[in-house]
Amino acid sequence: MDYMSAKDAALKWGISKRRVQTLCAEDRIKGASKVGIFWVIPKDAEKPEDERLKINKN
């Protein structure tokens, strides 16, 4: 399996590197794991939904 860094995921998904690290720490990116001080994320991982946004569904 191929992996990408948090920086690569941030560029791919259009979010900050710090946000990717937070998503990894919250276990919201499937298959992400920490190697030393670095997060490694599967290249085929999908960007999780942003739960900070409130969507009004009637």
pLDDT tens, N- to C-terminus, the chain (58 residues): 799 999 999 999 999 999 999 999 999 999 999 999 999 999 999 999 877 777 766 6
User: What pTM did the predictor assign?
Assistant: 0.84
Which pLDDT does position 57 carry in this prediction?
66
Which pLDDT does position 24 carry in this prediction?
96
Any domain includes 38: yes
Residue 31 belongs to what domain range?
Answer: 3-42
Any domain includes 7: yes
* Residues 1, 45: Cα–Cα separation, whole Å: 11
Any domain includes 52: no
State the DSSP H helix or E strand holding residue 25, giving kind and residue range, or none if neither.
helix 17-25
Which pLDDT does position 58 carry in this prediction?
60
Number of domains in the chain: 1
Phi, psi of 33 (to 5 degrees): -145, 160
* Residues 50, 29: Cα–Cα separation, whole Å: 12
**What is the crossing angle of helices 17-25 and 6-13, to 10°?**
110
